[in-house]
Amino acid sequence: MKNIKFLAFVLIIIVLLSCNKITHHNIPDPTLNTPVITNVEDAYTYTINAHAFSDSLSGILDFSSDETVITYTVLNYSQGSADLKIDNAASTTIYNDMIENNVVLVESLHEKPHQIELVLENFTGLLELVLACEN
């Protein structure tokens, strides 16, 4: 009887140790290539953890102040590009940048933003973009 209990105990330990070697490489990351966008009065955010991601978006912004700040951060960049363009209500471009590397940027805009366009081409990296009133 002792031998059966010992054998059962050893078998359970072997099974538990072998389960530790199971990997989950086929489970997709639910946040990968899923942009999170917030567009509210006096604020806009766009965040994505991208891998070879291509997309194009444009949106109307709702800002009440001419004094706004744009900030974006790109981490873990490895390929592709992000083309960012911001226009005022007269469709004049007030900010334009092609993002192709790791970067941290904070810049003041002295005109009221009205529309944003962002084009990602085969982009891999973490992009966080924020527009907000400066006051």
- Using CA atoms, how far apart are residues 116 and 118, in angstroms rounded to an integer? 7
Task: Give the class (CATH, top level) of 30-133.
Answer: mainly beta
Q: H or E stretch including 15?
A: helix 2-19
Of 4-8, 49-53, 100-104, the one with minimum mean pLDDT is 4-8
Instruction: Please enumerate in sequence order all residues whose Cβ is within 8 A of that of 67, keeping only pairs 6 or more positions apart, or say none.
Output: 108, 109, 110, 133, 134, 135
Of 8-17, 97-106, 112-121, the one with minimum mean pLDDT is 8-17
pTM above 0.85, yes or no: no
Instruction: Please enumerate in sequence order all residues whose Cβ is within 8 A of that of 23, keeping only pairs 6 or more positions apart, or say none.
Output: none
Write the pLDDT tens digit of every residue in 47-94: 999 999 999 999 999 999 999 999 999 999 999 999 999 999 999 999
